């Protein structure tokens, strides 16, 4: 049996949500007989049961076995030459540290001596002044010279102390590194062993595939709004720490879940009980968050949220735009997938119930042949990175929106108050009246057109009624939709102000009890 080391470079990587499928391809030439091929330095975290090797379009070559062999080895970085060089650097820094300490001692002695002489001179001048004797020019010259020397020495001391501190930090780092190199570090390595039988000498192409954990990807996007044009880019964020570098490989991003399967539900007994209906009707008030992925199209559809990458139940396979190199260090790397440019419409929109700001919103169409998966979006404008947003699943050809952050010139204020409450023991209904006042101002030099959206409660039971007062509400609104959202369009001139008023009444039957109330 003949043994041979082979080189099968990684040609393609299929990235899944939490793992990766590696494909290695290489051309080999073997003589007649039995051969043991060794593929060294592969990932030690390979899933053994997924290891697979095949030969295409040849019957004269047969693979008898394929397996992986793992071992623990010392890392070559801890060799003696490197440790010796490190010790020499430490000795050099320690000598330099000693020189600095000697210079510091000399300067401190010089400063102390000069200050002592200055004190004696000042005492002598004080005695002479008592006898009406003024100091001479020689005395003043000596004092100036001594003070100048003290100031110069103190500046040198400051420089020496800074250099000494930096030198001490570097010395500590080198000593820590030397302590680490005293004990050789170890790491796991793995080799793939393939047993092949060839009936004659020939050349063929060998393919090896396997799955590895510690690799994943997530979609990420880049939206650019530059000089009136909209540019949208789809990218894949790639992480991998598998122990082998992916060098110049073709990347395929997949949303397939290899372990997901459909199992029939278990049939169990379902007992039905009769219970007398309560006269009281218990209700619960809640804030319902409205989520819409896109603005709709002829073929758009939505399903429930799926943990991980949301593909709406349809497996997506997205090819990278070129070949990329992904090191095995666990850091994220951005890989281009697709991009497009399109026209867009922009407006200013306010949600006073949620925020005190007015936001710039753009609407566009997904012109790519690929869907936009749920993920974060980097927002780029003329001044650079303007912030980050996110999108949900957007089908090809579907409209969608992106919010670009607040407008700096607009201010908004919202005040909600309960203005009236009517209850009576003789009446079955109790009612409360609410008023919402929204004030908005424009501090800029340009006119602004603003869309204001406010929400009124929506009742799901007959014994809770929400009555919208159109007469006392500011005119110019669009009627509330199924989610209770009303909209006003307002135009504010430079330094202008405006106000929007909304009023509604909530009527509740006395048989209704709020969840968690004492009467329940």
pLDDT in tens, 127-145: 777 777 777 777 778 788 8
Quote the pLDDT of residue 259: 62
Going by DSSP bridges, is the β-strand pair 10-15/20-30 parallel, antiparallel, or unpaired? antiparallel
Residues 62 and 197 sit within 8 Å (Cβ to Cβ) = yes
Judged by DSSP in three states, 488 sits in strand
The percent of residues in the chain predicted with pLDDT above 70, rounded, is 88
Extended strands (E) in 152-286: 186-198, 202-212, 215-226, 229-240, 246-254, 281-283
- Mean pLDDT rounded to a whole number for the chain: 84
Looking at 33-42, 51-60, 190-199, 436-445, which range is the least confident one?
51-60
Question: Which pLDDT score is estimated for 514?
Answer: 63
What pLDDT score was predicted for residue 173? 85
d(CA 43, CA 192): 10
* Residues facing residue 34 across a β-bridge: 197
Per the structure block, which two tokens stand in for 433?
């009246």
C-alpha–C-alpha distance, residues 302 and 313, integer Å = 9
**Which is more confidently placed, 23 or 295?**
23
Distance CA 150, CA 129 (A): 25
Q: Which token pair is 242?
A: 């598998």
pLDDT greater than 50 at residue 495: yes
The share of the chain scoring above pLDDT 90, in percent, equals 39
Per-residue pLDDT for 308 more than 90?
no
* CA-CA-CA-CA dihedral for 91, 96, 100, 101, to nearest 10: 10
User: Residue 72, SS3?
Assistant: strand
CB atoms within 10 A of CB 219: 23
* Gyration radius from the chain CA atoms: 39
Q: Tell me, what's the pLDDT at 143? A: 80
The separation between the first and the last C-alpha atoms of the chain, rounded to the nearest angstrom, is 84
Model confidence pLDDT, tens digit, residues 252-285: 999 988 765 566 777 888 888 887 776 666 666 6
Distance, CA of 469 to chain centre: 45
Sorted by sequence, the CB contacts under 8 Å of residue 34 that are 6+ apart come out as 1, 2, 64, 195, 196, 197
E-strand ranges in 343-427 read 345-350, 358-365, 375-381, 384-391, 399-406, 410-422
| Cβ contact 30:61 at 8 Å | yes
Question: Residue 345: how many CA atoms within 13 Å on its side-chain side?
Answer: 6
In this structure, the strands spanning 2-5 and 20-30 are unpaired
- Collapsing DSSP to helix, strand or coil, 463 comes out as coil
Task: Give residue 223's pLDDT band: very low, low, confident or very high (50, 70, 90).
Answer: very high
Q: Are 22 and 209 in contact (CB under 8 A)?
A: yes
Dist CA 197 CA 194 (whole Å)? 10
Residues in the chain: 520
Question: What tokens does 333 get?
Answer: 């790397």
Pair 506, 465: CB distance under 8 Å: yes
Beta-carbon count within 10 A of 169 CB: 10
Give the pLDDT confidence of 84-105 residue by residue, as tens digits.
Answer: 788 888 888 888 888 888 888 8
Report pTM.
0.65
Of 20-24, 311-315, 421-425, 505-509, the range with the lowest mean pLDDT is 421-425
Do the beta carbons of residue 33 and residue 196 sit within 8 Å? Answer: no
Residue 231 has pLDDT above 90, yes or no: yes
Greater model confidence, 363 or 420: 363
Which of these ranges, 62-66, 116-120, 237-241, has the smallest mean pLDDT?
116-120
pLDDT of 150 over the 70 cut: yes
pLDDT surpasses 50 at 301: no
Burial class (CB in 10 A: 0-12, 13-18, 19+), 431: middle
Q: Are strands 186-198 and 61-74 parallel, antiparallel or unpaired?
A: antiparallel
**Residue 298, pLDDT above cutoff 50:** no
The shares of helix, strand and coil residues in the chain, as percent rounded to the nearest 5, are 20, 45, 35
Do 514 and 283 contact (CB within 8 A), yes or no? yes
Lowest-confidence segment of 163-167, 237-241, 395-399, 490-494 by average pLDDT: 163-167
Q: Which of 371, 507, 383, 365 is nearest to 434 (CA)?
A: 507
Q: Stretch 475-481: mean pLDDT, rounded?
A: 82
pLDDT for the residue 300 = 40
As a three-state string, the secondary structure of 482-510 is CCCEEEEEEEECCCCEEEEEEEEEEEEEC
Position 248 scores a pLDDT of 94
pLDDT band at 305 (very low <50, low <70, confident <90, very high): very low
pLDDT at 232: 94
Six-digit token string for 182: 């005293």
Q: What are residue 83's phi and psi, to 5 degrees?
A: -65, -40
Is residue 477's pLDDT more than 60? yes
Structure-block tokens of residue 45: 């975290």
User: Distance between CA atoms of 45 and 243, rounded to whole angstroms?
Assistant: 8
Burial class (CB within 10 angstroms; exposed 0-12, middle 13-18, buried 19+) of 186: exposed
Q: Where are the beta strands (DSSP E) in 106-201?
A: 186-198
Inform me whether the pLDDT recorded for 353 exceeds 70: yes
DSSP string, 40-53: EEE-TT--GGG-EE
- Looking at residue 25, what is its pLDDT? 93
Contact 478, 444 (CB under 8 A): no
| pLDDT level of residue 287 (50, 70, 90 thresholds) | low
């Amino acid at each position: 049996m003949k043994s041979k080391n082979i080189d099968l470079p990684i040609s393609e990587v299929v990235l899944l949500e939490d793992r990766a499928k590696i494909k290695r391809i290489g051309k080999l030439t073997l003589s007649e007989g039995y051969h043991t091929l060794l593929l060294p330095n592969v990932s030690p975290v390979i899933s053994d049961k997924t290891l697979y090797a095949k030969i295409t379009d040849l019957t004269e070559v047969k693979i008898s076995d394929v397996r992986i062999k793992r071992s623990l080895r010392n890392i070559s970085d801890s060799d003696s030459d490197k440790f010796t060089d490190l010790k020499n650097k430490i000795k050099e820094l320690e000598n330099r540290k000693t020189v600095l300490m000697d210079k510091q001692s000399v300067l401190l002695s010089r400063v102390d001596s000069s200050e002592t002489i200055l004190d004696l001179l000042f005492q002598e001048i004080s005695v002479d002044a008592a006898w009406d004797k003024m100091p001479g020019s020689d005395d003043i010259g000596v004092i100036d010279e001594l003070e100048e020397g003290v100031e110069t020495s103190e500046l040198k001391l400051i420089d020496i102390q800074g250099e000494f501190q930096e030198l001490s930090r570097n010395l500590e780092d080198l000593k820590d590194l030397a302590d680490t190199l005293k004990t050789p570090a170890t790491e796991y390595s793995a080799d793939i062993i393939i047993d092949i039988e060839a009936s004659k000498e020939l050349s063929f192409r060998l393919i090896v595939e396997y799955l590895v954990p510690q690799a994943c990807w997530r979609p990420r996007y880049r939206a650019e709004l530059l000089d009136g044009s909209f540019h949208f880019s789809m990218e894949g964020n790639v992480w991998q720490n598998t122990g082998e570098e992916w060098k110049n490989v073709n990347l395929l991003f997949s949303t397939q879940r290899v372990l997901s399967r459909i199992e029939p539900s278990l049939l169990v007994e379902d007992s039905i009980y009769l219970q007398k209906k309560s006269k009281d009707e218990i209700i619960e008030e809640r804030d319902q968050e409205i989520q819409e992925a896109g603005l709709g199209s002829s073929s758009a559809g939505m399903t429930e949220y799926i943990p991980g990458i949301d593909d709406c139940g349809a497996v997506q396979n997205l090819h990278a735009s070129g070949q990329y190199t992904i090191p095995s260090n666990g850091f994220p790397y951005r890989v281009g997938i697709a991009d497009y440019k399109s026209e867009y419409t922009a407006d200013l929109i306010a949600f006073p119930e949620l925020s005190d700001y007015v936001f710039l919103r753009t609407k566009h169409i997904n012109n790519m042949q690929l869907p936009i998966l749920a993920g974060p979006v980097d927002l780029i404008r003329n001044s650079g990175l303007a912030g980050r947003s996110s999108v949900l699943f957007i089908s090809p050809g579907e409209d969608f929106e992106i919010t670009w952050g607040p407008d700096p010139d607009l201010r908004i204020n919202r005040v909600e108050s309960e203005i009236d409450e009517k209850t009576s023991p003789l009446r079955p209904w109790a009612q409360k009246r609410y008023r919402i006042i929204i004030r908005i101002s424009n501090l800029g030099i340009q006119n602004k057109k603003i869309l204001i959206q406010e929400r009124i409660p929506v009742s799901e039971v007959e014994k809770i009624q929400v009555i919208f007062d159109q007469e006392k509400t500011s005119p110019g609104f669009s009627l509330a939709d199924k989610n209770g959202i009303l909209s006003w369009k307002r135009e504010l001139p430079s330094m202008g102000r405006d106000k929007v008023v909304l009023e509604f009444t909530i009527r509740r039957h006395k048989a209704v009890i709020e969840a968690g109330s004492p009467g329940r």
